[in-house]
Amino acid sequence: MDIVLSTSSATQMWISNSVNFTDGAWEGYASVKSWTLEYKGDGEEHTIFAKFKDDADSESVIKYDGIIYQL
């Protein structure tokens, strides 16, 4: 799945399946990112979390969005 991101000042991003960011790592900002959701079951909400950094290493608040699988 591709996720589309939009921010005006980010130079780095961290995308994760966990609100604690236990997976993934900081990487260069891109407006589109291929991502595999952690499958929790049909009809369950799946959430993707993101945070961003700018040139001054200021970190954003955590952003998130969810989808529900319907197989």
Nearest to 17 by CA among 54, 60, 71, 62: 62
Name every residue whose Cβ is closer than 8 Å to that of residue 8 and which is 6 or more positions away in sequence: none
Query: CA-CA distance, 71 to 52, in Å (whole number)?
Result: 32
Confidence of residue 61 (pLDDT cuts 50, 70, 90): very high
Question: Does residue 2 surpass a pLDDT of 80?
Answer: no
The predicted model scores a pTM of 0.82
Domain ranges in the chain are: 2-68
For residue range 9-58, what is the model confidence (pLDDT) as tens digits?
Answer: 899 999 999 999 998 899 999 989 898 877 777 788 888 999 999 999 99
